[in-house]
Amino acid sequence: MAELRWNPLLRTWTMVASNRQARPHLPKDWCPFCPGSGKVPEQYDVFAYDNDFPALSQTPGLPDEVTGGPYRTAENYGKCEVILYSPDHTSSLSALPVAHIEKLLTLLAERQAALSQDPKIKYIFPFENRGEEVGVTMPHPHGQIYAYSFVPQKIQVELDSCREYHAKEKRCLLCDMNREEKRFAQRIVAENENFLAYLPFFTDYPYGVFIVSKKHKGDLTQFDAQEKKDLARILKCVTAAFDKLFGRPFPYMMCLHQTPVNCAEDENADAYYHFHIEFYPPLREAKKIKFYASSEMGAWAACNPHAVEETVEALRNACAAVQEEAEEKS
């Protein structure tokens, strides 16, 4: 069973993907993403790989006939891809050279452009889950892309908020967030010519960094070579700082938020929406997890156990140490 089911209470789609239960338990000494597995090229640096157990498909089956009353279904149209960061099974985003991360960003931009050619695709969402704490079972460094036939609810709320703010203030909300974070300065973690990394005033995770383009651009395809290099640099800096923070591999969810595609409702999103990356790292201390409990999940009433002004200094110092080490090696 694979389909979309409409949630009439929240007015959004739930993906049903029973096929993902058939994912095998892989032998500990074999990885499908490593060269020699027979699943990927014998040589690659970065590689886009069709998910073997996708939640979405460009050749979907018919939804089950289980609807009635307020319930409805739709075909689970879309695409799920795995983005392999490196052939090195033990590497990580933070360990990759900046030039290699640039190749990764170029691949993501290429997939963004290609997937947007499908008129049924409305939103393209690159992301990475890292660490057992967020459910990762495949340690080989990789991210994923979900290309949806609908705009996911959280993204739609952001879009609606940005549209309303732009209509009222005649300015981009994320541009104004950047300006306020620059003015206040104390929540900034790292910065270069084209990107800011900061713990936003409102984030619900103690180390919930946002990386935001300084220029008002909507998606990865709009960045030039220098912007991709600067994005690669700040990604490496932030993820390496995470690892340095508690002296251990740092788990996180990393989500790239971009403008929709082929979406009449938000066809002017480039005017009011703005590329950014949101991190959701579950650690609040080296061995303590910030769980999303009943208030967060049941009421969407987020609670951060620390004001970000309390946690930013340690992360900023870790970023500075990472940058200093990089300069010493260069």
CB atoms inside a 10 Å sphere around CB 319: 24
| Residue written as token pair 């300006």 | 179
Total count of residues recorded for the chain: 330
> Is 142 labeled as catalytic in the residue annotation?
yes
Active-site option among 142, 257, 274, 276: 142
Q: Which of 213, 92, 77 is nearest to 147 (CA)?
A: 77
The Cα-based distances of 196 to 155, 183, 205, 220 in angstroms read 21, 13, 18, 16
Secondary structure (3-state) at 180:
helix
From CA 61, how far away is CA 179, in angstroms rounded?
A: 48
CB atoms inside a 10 Å sphere around CB 300: 9
Six-digit token string for 107 = 């691949």
Active site (catalytic) residues: 142
